[in-house]
Structure 1
Amino acid sequence: MKIGLSSRALVSACVLCAAGLLALAPAAAVAHEGLDPDPPGGPRAAAIPRPALLYRSGTQVHPLSGAPRLPHVSALSWLVADADSGEVLAAYDAHRRLPPASTLKTLFALTLLPTLPVGVPHTVRPEELAGIGPGSSLVGVAEGRTYRIADLWRGVFLSSGNDAVHVLAALNGGWRTTAARMQAKARSLGALDTRVVSPDGYDTPGQVSSAYDLAVFGRAGLRNAEFARYCGTAVASFPGGGGWAYPIRNTNRLLTGADGVDPYPGLIGIKNGYTSKAGNTLVAAARRGGRTLVVTVLNPR
C-alpha cells in the first residue's frame, strides 16, 4: 500500500508491454480468450464459459512467427491484454488467487464512484477513521476537517490512503456494506476469483483476487471518465487545516518518475500496491500508436 514495484520489477513490467508483447497481433492472442466484454453503456455480467487456457498453470501465449521471446518475469502471476477489445495477449497463472493489496482499490472505485457526487463537502467524524489497519498508507484525513468527495478520491488514487477509503466507505453505508457491494460488482463484471473482505486492500484472511480479475477492473475503470482522470494524476493538492493544502504524489513511480525510475512513455496509470502478504502488486495501462494495453503483475520475486 506504499510505493509500487521495485525498479527491477517495474522494468520487467515495462518490457512486457514494450518489447515482448506489442509484437503479437490480436490473432496471436490466447486462444480467442479475453477479459469479459463491456457493452455500450457499461459493463455487464459474463455470459461466456470459463476460458480453459487461462485456467491452466504456466505461461499461455500463441506468438506469431518472428515475435520476440517473452522476457523473464519473476511475478507469481501476470497478464497482458488489449484494453479496447479485452483480448488477452499473454498470461502466466492468470486465475491464481492471491492477495491484491491496494490494487483492490480499483474495484472500490468502480463500485462507489457512481454513487458519491464529487463536489459534495463532508466533515469527517471520528468513527469514520476507526479500524484503520496498523501500517496502512495514509493521505492525512483528519477528524473534524471538511473535504470534498473529490479530495478523498485523490487521496485514494494518489496516496493509496486507507483513511480516505474508510471515510468514503462510511458514506456508502459502512465497511461491511461496501465490501458486499464490491463483491457484487466483481461478480457483475465476470471477476469470479475475487473475494472482498477489507475494501482498502489491507491484508485480511480470505481476501484474494487474480491477475485476470484485476485486469478486468482496470479495463472497466479506464472506461469511466472520473476513474481515468484520478488514476492518471501524478501530483495534486490535498487540504490541510486552516485553509492551506499540501502536495501529494502518485505512488506509481512509472507515472511520476520518482526514486530514479524513468517515467514510462504513454503510461495512463491505474493502481499499484504493497502489503507484506501480497508483496508488490500493479495494474497499469499504457497507450502507444493508437493501442492501449493493460498489464497486471502480482508479487514479483
Structure 2
Amino acid sequence: MCAAALHAPVPAAATAVEAPATPATVPCPRLEVKPPPTDREPLPTPPKDDPVLRAVGGDGLATDGLVIPSGARRPPALTATSWLVADLDTGEVLGGCGPHVYGTPASVQKLLLAAAVMDKLDPRRTITVTRGDLDIEPGSSAVGLVEGGKYSIATLWLGLLLNSGNEAANALARLGGGAGGVKAGLAAMNAEAQRLGAFQTHAVTPSGLDGPGQFTSAYDLALIARECFADPVFVRYALTRTARVPAQKRPKVGGFQIQNENRLIFEYPGALGGKTGFTHLARHSYVGAAERNGRRLVATLLGAERRPLLSWQQGAALLDWGFSLPEDASVGKLVDPGGMAPGGSAPSAAPAASGPAPAPGEARAATAPTLPTGAAAAIAVTLAAAPLLLLLRRQRRRIRRTRTQLFD
C-alpha cells in the first residue's frame, strides 16, 4: 500500500506566484474525557520544533495530526495526545497521531534504561542497595527494596519491568554508570537515544519521574522499544507474570511476590510485553507489543487518561488496528541505529514504486538539511570511539549469553 498522509486538496486555482498550499492537519480520533486535574503543575515547555527532527522516518510523520496509509480504515478513538504503531521487524510505521510531538514519558522511560545498560550488567551478580537508590519521590512506584539489602541484578530488572520500581531504576542506572554512578548511567541513556535516532528524547531521571527538560515522542519510544524487543532476554523479563523478591537478613525483611502491572500480557493473545507509565504531570503513557501470524507490532502512546479506556487497552486497540492493515502498509520508517549520518537528512518514506531507499550512510544531496549540532557531535564521538565500542559489544555478547543461560 502506498505510503501517504491524509492531506486537504490543493486548490486548482493556485498560480505560480502564490505560496505553496500547506497540508491541513487532520485531527486524530479522540474520546471525550474529563480534563486533567487543574492543580497539576503546568506542562514543561518543549524544545523548539526542528523541521529535520520532525521528519525523521519520513516527511509524512511531520504532523501534529493524523497520518495513516491511503485507504486504511480509521484508527480507534483514544484519549492519548500522541501515538504510533510500527512493525518491529521491518521498521515500517503503520500510522500515528503527532508522531514527533514532544511528550513527557513517565515510566516508559525505563525502556531506555534497559536499552542502554541491560547488556552491560551480569544478571547473576548480587549487589547491595544504597540509601541513594531509595531517593525517590514519596508515594511513587517502588518494588520495596531496602537499604543494605542484597539482590541479584535479575531481581532488579524484574522489579523495574513488572512493578515499575523507581528505586530499582536508580540502582540499575548507578550500576550501569560504573564509577560515574547514576550521572554516568543517565549519560549512557542519552547516548543510546542518540545512537538509535531518538533525537527528541532526553532523560533527566532514570525512572521517568518528571524532571526539567525531560521529553520524548511516540516515534522515539518505538525506536527504543524496537531495540528492547530485539533482545529475547528483555522479552522474557517483560512477559514474566509474577516474581519473588527474596527475604533479607540485614535488615530482616521477609520475601514477597510482585506481579506484572502490564495487563496486556494477561489479556491480549500474542502479547510480547511492554511498559506502563504514569505521573501526575505526564498522565498515562504506554508501550506494548504483540505478535500475530509471524508479524510483530508495537504501539506507543503519550498523554492518555485512564477513562474510558486504560492505557494498555488503548495500546491493544492500536495493535488490533495495526494488525488489520496489509503488511505493505506504511507512512514512514523507523530509522536504523546510526542510520542518520552527519550532514544527512532524515530518511523519507516513499511508495514502493519509487525504488529502494538509500542505504545507511549513502551520500545525500548537498542541499539536504543537517543534523542538530548535538546529534552530529554524538555521532562523531561514536565513530571516533569505534575500537572501544567493539570491545564493549563483545563484552555485551558475553553477558547476553550468561543471561540466556540464567533463564534456560
TM-score, normalised to structure 2's length? 0.59
Q: What are the within-5 Å matches in structure 2 for residues 283-298 of structure 1?
A: 283-298=287-302
SS for the counterpart of 1:299 is strand
Q: What are the within-5 Å matches in structure 2 for residues 59-98 of structure 1?
A: 59-64=66-71, 67-98=72-103
Q: Residue 248 of structure 1 aligns with which residue? A: 258
Cα contact 1:30–1:89 (8 A) shared by 2? no
Q: What are the within-5 Å matches in structure 2 for residues 134-173 of structure 1?
A: 134-171=138-175, 172=177, 173=180
SS for the counterpart of 1:187 is helix
SS for the counterpart of 1:241 is coil
The number of aligned residues is: 251
Quote how far apart the aligned CAs of 1:103 are: 0.3
Q: In the aligned structure 2, how far is the partner of 1:207 from the partner of 1:49?
A: 20
Q: Residue 213 of structure 1 aligns with which residue? A: 220
Cα contact 2:264–2:288 (8 A) shared by 1? no
Cα contact 1:152–1:164 (8 A) shared by 2? yes
Cα contact 1:194–1:209 (8 A) shared by 2? yes
Cα contact 2:174–2:184 (8 A) shared by 1? no
Cα contact 1:29–1:87 (8 A) shared by 2? no
The AA in structure 1 aligned to 2:136 is: I
Cα contact 1:30–1:88 (8 A) shared by 2? no
Which of 102, 109, 115 does residue 104 from structure 1 map onto?
109
SS for the counterpart of 1:110 is helix
Which of 256, 268, 271 does residue 267 from structure 1 map onto?
271
Unaligned runs of 5+ in 1: 1-26, 32-45, 257-262
Which of 133, 140, 149 does residue 137 from structure 2 map onto?
133
Cα contact 2:60–2:67 (8 A) shared by 1? yes
Q: Residue 49 of structure 2 aligns with which residue? A: none
**CA RMSD, Structure 1 to Structure 2 (Å):** 1.9
TM-score, normalised to structure 1's length? 0.79
The AA in structure 2 aligned to 1:207 is: Q
SS for the counterpart of 2:163 is coil
Structure number with greater Rg is 2
SS for the counterpart of 1:113 is helix
Quote how far apart the aligned CAs of 1:238 are: 1.3
Q: In the aligned structure 2, how far is the partner of 1:97 from the partner of 1:264?
A: 29
Identity %: 42
| Higher-strand-fraction structure | 1
Unaligned runs of 5+ in 2: 6-52, 306-408
Cα contact 1:197–1:207 (8 A) shared by 2? yes
Q: What are the within-5 Å matches in structure 2 for residues 9-48 of structure 1?
A: 27-29=1-3
SS for the counterpart of 1:265 is coil
Q: In the aligned structure 2, how far is the partner of 1:125 from the partner of 1:206?
A: 27
